[in-house]
Amino acid sequence: MIEIHLRHRQGGFALDIDLALRAQGIIGLIGRSGSGKSTLFSCLAGHARPAEGCISLYGRPLYDSTRNLNVPPAQRGIGVVFQEGVLFPHMTVRRNLAYGARNTGTAFWHEVITALDIGALLGARPGRLSGGERQRVAIARALMAEPDLLLLDEPVSALDPGLKARTLDLIAKVQERTRVPMIFISHAPEEVRRLCGQVVTLQAGRVHSVTENGHPAPPYTYLPGPEARRCAR
């Protein structure tokens, strides 16, 4: 379970979120520019500290303002992939994957490489890769740490339509094989419909709706108040 109960203000923008989501499959996080996607992403990853509230993953608290608890990003067990695949340019793909990997050469290692179809790229350096290849390697590198959750911040937004479709298919494939739950952040409904079972729509810093397989989710999933679940303590 991913539990998020946050109140956060950034300039004139206020984020007010209550969510309890199954940590399973690919969860879509969608909304117009300015809806709060990036702010929520930063709070989950640990790059921004909310004003108050709590975050827990599988019952493990990551942030709790009442206990002055704020787990550092590197200790959260959350992998992050940004819009542009950021890789070490002086390292080969293989060395990029090994950097921060929990283990190399394991069944999981080979599963990720196979699912993302990057086996032929292992000896190449990032400067010789296409945009789609860089993104696939960036996703693979984040997965090699075997995170409890992977955040994908509009990972296909800079790709042309052909590469975008192939990369989306490979993201679905690697999630199915590895079973690492993912949150896929996008402003494109067609991408989210293609990938995601659970979909959270943000509007003006609040949860507008939550759907599961196209149907409204139970109210406790996102409504504040007594119906909302509270982070484990």
Domain that holds residue 107: 2-221
- Give bridge partners of residue 128 from the DSSP assignment: none
The pLDDT of residue 227 is 44
Amino acid code (one letter) for 83: Q
In the prediction, which pLDDT does 158 show? Answer: 82
Q: Is residue 232 part of a domain?
A: no
- Rounded Cα distance between 149 and 39, Å, is 17
What is the β-pairing status of strands 206-212 and 215-216? antiparallel
Name residues whose C-beta falls within 8 Å of residue 199's C-beta, 6 or more positions apart in sequence.
Answer: 27, 28, 30, 192, 210, 211, 212
Note whether residue 233 is domain-resident: no
Along the 233 residues of the chain, how does pLDDT read in single tens digits?
999 999 998 888 999 999 999 999 999 999 999 999 999 999 999 999 999 999 999 999 999 999 999 999 999 999 999 877 789 999 999 999 999 898 999 999 999 999 999 999 999 999 999 989 999 999 999 999 999 999 999 988 888 888 888 999 999 999 999 999 999 999 888 899 889 999 999 999 999 999 988 788 776 676 655 444 567 55
> Is 106 inside any structural domain?
yes
81: CATH: 3.40.50.300
Q: What is the pLDDT of residue 219?
A: 63
Structural domains counted in the chain: 1
Residue pair 177/20 in contact by the 8 Å Cβ criterion: no
Q: Using an 8 Å Cβ cutoff, are 231 and 56 in contact?
A: yes
Q: What is the pTM of this model?
A: 0.91
Q: Does residue 151 contact residue 175 with C-beta atoms inside 8 Å? A: no
